[in-house]
A and B are shown apart, each in its own frame.
Chain A
Amino acid sequence: MKSLEELAAIRDRMKNIVNTREADENNIRIAVGMATCGIAAGARPVLNAFTEEIARREVPHVTVTQTGCIGICQYEPVVEVFAPGKDKVTYVKMTPEKVARVVSEHILGGVPVAEYTIGAAQR
């Protein structure tokens, strides 16, 4: 079984990465809608999938966080990606399965996955 002592090892490994992550002006913020509507639609597994993908690939300059209800409940789970100097990208009807592609193509590659965005959904 895992013990909290193992956390000390993670801390030591993370210290350098984390200090740059928070202050980094290139920091990308992934915000998952976690109001009642988002949670009921399955936001939690989506947030967990982003967390796992970012941790597993050791992506240095990304934070995964939550946001409230932004008023498009019918499109939940909604994920907003804020990258410095770029327009916000809004992904809708997200699933854990879609996360890997968003991380590799958008977060790492810089090109949003157009077909998952609200623009594509409204067409």
Chain B
Amino acid sequence: MQELSMNLLDIAQNSVAAGSKLTEITVLIDTARRSLVLRIADCGKGMSEETLRRVTDPFYTTRTTRKVGLGLPLFREAAETAGGKMTIRSKEGVGTTVEASFELGNIDLPPLGDVPGSIVNLVQCNPELDFIFRVESDGETFCMDTREIRGILQGVPLSSPEVALFLREYLEEHTENLLKRSNLI
């Protein structure tokens, strides 16, 4: 993956597949502590202890169509390469939280990349599900909740290209200054 925002999109797709009706995606940036945290928290079906133990093995997947599952291994690899780690908490019937930490300024830290693009992709392609997107950057916060947007749209689907285009520009404008603090050298 060239950008961490691609990992974010990829891992959030697992939440969608797990039937999560509300998924919270958080980007935490703390430049003083040189810390970047990406968190995907869902209320999907969760994993058994057995699955949880094997889930970062690239040759383990619950899918029956193929024998590899690379999403979580790649995310863990990205975190560990950049001075951080990935943790997974999961409970069957409750949900799963995947959290990866990274050291800001680490030479092997991939760029965050197009985070708004990833969020809008998720929302647009899963218009019946809800997402909370939160950025906390050095004490400043931005938050978008699709339930609020759904209220404004009054039946116009979140999958409409025109709505997706607006959301993309809206997110870009509101998060650009917060997210660019991750480009710490």
Binding site for B on A (CB under 8 A): 1-4, 6-8, 10-11, 13-15, 18, 21-22, 34-37, 39-40, 44-45, 47-48, 50-52, 54-56, 62-66, 69, 71
Contact = CB atoms under 8 A, between A and B. Distances in A.
Contact of B164 (A35, A51, A69): A51
> Which 3 pairs between the two chains have the least Cβ-Cβ distance?
A55-B161, A66-B125, A54-B161
A7 B163 CA distance: 8
A4 B149 contact: yes
B70 A63 contact: no
A27 B118 CA distance: 25
Most chain A CB within 10 A, of B154, B160, B164, B174, is at B160
B120 to A, nearest CB: 8
Interface of B: 1-2, 6, 9-10, 13, 65-66, 69-71, 74, 114, 117-118, 120-121, 124-125, 148-149, 152-157, 159-166, 168-170, 173-174
Contact of A4 (B157, B165, B170): B170
Given A2-B170, A51-B124, A51-B161, 10 more contacts: A4-B170, A7-B166, A14-B156, A34-B9, A36-B71, A39-B6, A48-B120, A48-B121, A50-B161, A66-B125
Contacts of A6: 166
A7 B117 contact: no
A18 B160 contact: yes
Contacts of B117: 44-45, 48
Most chain B CB within 10 A, of A15, A51, A56, is at A51
Nearest to A57: B161
Contact of A44 (B114, B159, B162): B114
Given A14-B162, A39-B1, A48 B125 contact: no
Given A14-B163, A34-B13, A8 B121 contact: no
A70 to B, nearest CB: 9
A4 B121 contact: no
8 contacts: A11-B153, A34-B121, A39-B10, A40-B74, A44-B114, A51-B161, A51-B165, A69-B65
A114 B34 CA distance: 50
A44 B74 CA distance: 17
Contacts of A69: 65-66
